[in-house]
Amino acid sequence: MSDESVSNFTKIAVATGVVVGTVLVKNALKPASVKVSKEGYANQETKQFKSDYSQGPYSSSDKTQCAVIRYAEKGYASEEGFKATTIPKMFEKAVKRKGDKPALRQEVGLPVWKKGDKIPPSKPLKEWKTWTFSQYYEQSKIVARAFINLGLKPFDAVTIFGFNSPEWFMAEMAAILAGGCAAGIYPTDTPNQVFFKARHSGASIAVVENDLKAKIFYDRQDELPDLKAVVIWSPDKAFKSRKEGKLTVTSWDHLTEFAKGTSAEELQTRIENQKPGNACSYVYTSGTTGDPKAVMITHDNILFASFLVSRLMPLVKEGAQERMLSYLPLSHVAGLMIDIISPIVMSALTDSVLTISFARVYDLKAGSFGDRLRAV
């Protein structure tokens, strides 16, 4: 990277870094009272901003609040460089430009692997199940309508627990399309950590990989007053829906039936009511110094960061396809930005397309990750 590029990158980092993300604390019901010294912003870099940075508020613990979008006078952080928008609007734009291009790929029909078993070779990429951007978008909208029918209200949390998969992506996007906040959980979290995050976020719906993970929510449902439903994307045995205490439990495939209880118009109203400064996702800290804390990520925050990735670190020539293997936790902000949001932004704003393929759940543990890299 040239000295000039480094300088420009530093200016962008300064320009965006002072726009502090909102933080979800305790039950996220009351706005925090935050005092910021005016002198704290009295430096040369802030002169490039159109807004008066002496005017707050700078942060809030109220999930219903809308962050102020502050533009630079010029460059990527200016309104001309990147006009603030919402994730649903960016997703729609990606579909209009790249609807027939491959968005997600996954191997299906694999046998269950146990330690000591011989690892099946990778299937040829052409045999992996593929979702185009249009299919990805339409499926996410179906799931969003199902979430609304299951009781998800604007700004409610959808907690997602499991290894990287197309269902993880679609649950994230569906939560956002429906006006909620996706709240990912690390695959390695203990039952107590899972419970803490579900309660702390006020999760209305839990989307989980399997029955074992679902049981965590069944067992402590009385301590999760906001939880209404559990969705399982890879159940041990096929089923449609059932009741577990107060909870509605449904398989991922049966969400299509629940979607019929919510109209496309109602979902579109939810989409239109969203603003770039609204929270759309909660990213939890690791909790190494106490209980995990959640950062409220806004539409504009994660979209602009993803936009910079596509501009400052171009991966492919215009018109080409970049392929990425998803395996790092999607509950981390890097996983959210690089794996989920960046492909949408790149496909919406450039002539290139970024396709995400998924590693097998055991690849790192079994030492077979290289096989998946070579296949992709």
Which strands, in side-by-side order, build the sheet including 22-24? Answer: 22-24, 294-298, 279-284, 181-185, 157-161, 203-208, 229-232, 247-251, 241-244
Percent of the chain with pLDDT over 70: 83
Given a contact cutoff of 8 angstroms between Cβ atoms, the answer to whether 284 and 331 are in contact is: yes
Q: What does the pLDDT read at residue 312?
A: 64
Q: What does the pLDDT read at residue 351?
A: 87
Indicate the domain borders of the chain: 1-83, 87-375
3-state SS class at 22: strand
Among 208-217, 251-260, 314-323, the minimum mean pLDDT is found in 314-323
Residue 26 pLDDT more than 60?
A: no
Residue 22 pLDDT more than 70?
A: no
Which CATH fold topology does 87-375 show? Answer: Rossmann fold (3.40.50)
Residue 47 pLDDT more than 90?
A: no
Closest CA to 148 of 265, 243, 29: 265
Q: What does the pLDDT read at residue 138?
A: 98
With tokens 């965006």, the residue in question is 16
Angle (CA) 88-92-97 rounded to 5° is 150
233 burial via Cβ count (<10 Å: 0-12, 13-18, 19+): buried
In whole angstroms, give the CA distance from residue 98 to residue 94. Answer: 6
Range ranked top by mean pLDDT from 11-15, 263-267, 290-294, 305-309:
263-267
Contacts of 231 (CB under 8 A, 6+ apart): 171, 205, 206, 207, 208, 249, 250, 251, 252, 255
In whole angstroms, give the CA distance from residue 129 to residue 124. Answer: 11
Task: Compute how many other C-beta atoms are within 10 angstroms of the C-beta atom of residue 328.
Answer: 14
Q: What is the largest CA-CA distance in the chain?
A: 63
pLDDT tens for 63-100 read: 999 998 989 999 999 999 999 999 999 999 999 999 99
3-state SS class at 281: strand
Residue 56 pLDDT more than 50?
A: yes
Residue 46 pLDDT more than 50?
A: no
Given a contact cutoff of 8 angstroms between Cβ atoms, the answer to whether 176 and 89 are in contact is: no
Q: What does the pLDDT read at residue 5?
A: 36
Higher-confidence residue of 250 and 7: namely: 250
Which run of H or E residues covers position 214?
helix 211-219
Q: What does the pLDDT read at residue 314?
A: 57
Higher-confidence residue of 87 and 27: namely: 87
Which run of H or E residues covers position 300?
helix 299-312
Predicted structure pTM score: 0.86
Residue 44 pLDDT more than 70?
A: no
pLDDT tens for 113-155 read: 888 889 999 999 999 999 999 999 999 999 999 999 999 999 9
Q: What does the pLDDT read at residue 60?
A: 86
In angstroms and rounded to an integer, the radius of gyration of the C-alpha atoms of the chain is 21
Task: Compute how many other C-beta atoms are within 10 angstroms of the C-beta atom of residue 36.
Answer: 14
**Half-sphere exposure at residue 156, Cβ-oriented, CA atoms within 13 angstroms:** 22
pLDDT tens for 361-372 read: 999 999 999 999
Among 23-37, 175-189, 194-208, 250-264, the minimum mean pLDDT is found in 23-37
Residue 19 pLDDT more than 70?
A: no
Average predicted confidence (pLDDT) for the chain:
85
Q: What does the pLDDT read at residue 53?
A: 58
Q: Which amino acid is at 160?
A: I
Which run of H or E residues covers position 255?
helix 255-259
3-state SS class at 69: coil
The token pair at 189 is: 């979290």
